[in-house]
Amino acid sequence: MGDIKNVQIGAQKLTYNGEDLGHTNGGCTFGYEPEFADIVVDMYGTTAADKALIGEIVRVTVPMAEVTVDKFKNAIPSGTFVEDSASGKKKLQIGSQAGKKMSDVAAELIMHPSWLPESDKQFDITLHKAIAASEVELEYSKDEQAVYEVEFVAIIDESKEDGNLLATIGDPETTSGDTSTST
């Protein structure tokens, strides 16, 4: 039987590289997309006898509501953020050469339910190495709030073990002798 205590509603607090991403507008979305190759044998024709995992995509989509240069630096990872400490002026310079590795700027992204204390990480979603990998479009309108959507995508973190190369759902500090992969 179901348990109503497991039904959730509410906003997420997001941190990227240890920095609060600020207010969102429209709800954040976590997505997991596996990709499989069929394993076929003559005996069963074109019917898959098994499937082999050949790739995975983990993404978090964030509708950012705070329009500041500080927040844009997270949305445009290939840019160069410049801050004059004397004047406090800031800018984000955009335009990089092809081939720039985004792993150099990838950082941890954490989604934490806003209704839980910081110490309660049971529903956290952590992308170990995330980069903003989407088009950034900011519309200024006379009658609507400016919101720009940023899609963060996890890339492989080779410092993690197999089965945890991209992300963790739940408290990342949880340890157990049981590391089974069945659900």
pLDDT per position as a tens digit, 111-145:
999 989 999 999 999 999 999 999 999 888 888 88
Tokens of 86: 């004397």
Q: Is residue 1 part of a domain?
A: no
Number of domains composing the chain: 1
* Separation between Cα atoms, residue 102 and residue 77, nearest integer Å: 7
| Res 15: pLDDT | 95
According to DSSP, residue 161 is labeled: P
* Separation between Cα atoms, residue 2 and residue 151, nearest integer Å: 32
Q: Is residue 155 part of a domain?
A: yes
For the domain that residue 64 is a member of, what is the CATH number?
Answer: 2.40.30
What integer best gives the mean pLDDT of the chain? Answer: 91
Tokens of 61: 């989509």
Q: Is residue 110 part of a domain?
A: yes
Q: Is residue 183 part of a domain?
A: no
Q: Is residue 129 part of a domain?
A: yes
Q: Is residue 30 part of a domain?
A: yes
| 48-67 mean pLDDT | 96
Q: Is residue 49 part of a domain?
A: yes
* Separation between Cα atoms, residue 85 and residue 116, nearest integer Å: 35
Domain that holds residue 126: 11-68+105-169
For residue 180, is pLDDT > 80? no
Our separate counts of H helices and E strands in the chain read 1, 10
